[in-house]
Amino acid sequence: FFNAKSVKIIEESMLDPEKKVFVTYTRNLGYTKVMSVVERVEYRSAGPGLTVARRSAWIDSQVFGFSRAIRAFGVDRFKKNCNQMVCTIRNI
């Protein structure tokens, strides 16, 4: 579809020391008309030495006639990447 070896992204981080919550937002800066992805991860304590990460994403496309297929591809890719990440963390 297009040949992009890398796409620039930006990450914003917010820390709430009172609630002990750390939230990150990551979004792509390039190819946003083809596919725009915003990922939100909320990190919370789950007890001594444990952290829970709640991950969500919003995926959109503005390509006329293909936006639904591109969004479906993005959601599928996001799920696969999350599964790989979870398996990697379990093996650490």
* Residue 1 is assigned to a structural domain of this protein: no
* Residue 30 is assigned to a structural domain of this protein: yes
* 63 torsion bin: left (phi>0), alpha (psi -120 to 50), beta (else): beta
Number of independent structural domains in the chain = 1
Cα 75 to Cα 23, 33, 43, 56, distances in angstroms:
21, 16, 22, 11
Domain range spanning residue 22? 9-90
* Residue 32 is assigned to a structural domain of this protein: yes
* Residue 22 is assigned to a structural domain of this protein: yes
* Residue 4 is assigned to a structural domain of this protein: no
* Residue 26 is assigned to a structural domain of this protein: yes
* Residue 44 is assigned to a structural domain of this protein: yes
* Residue 52 is assigned to a structural domain of this protein: yes
* CATH code: domain of residue 63: 3.10.450
Tens of pLDDT along the chain (92 residues) come to 566 678 899 999 999 999 999 999 999 998 888 999 999 999 998 888 888 989 999 999 999 999 999 999 999 988 888 888 776 666 55
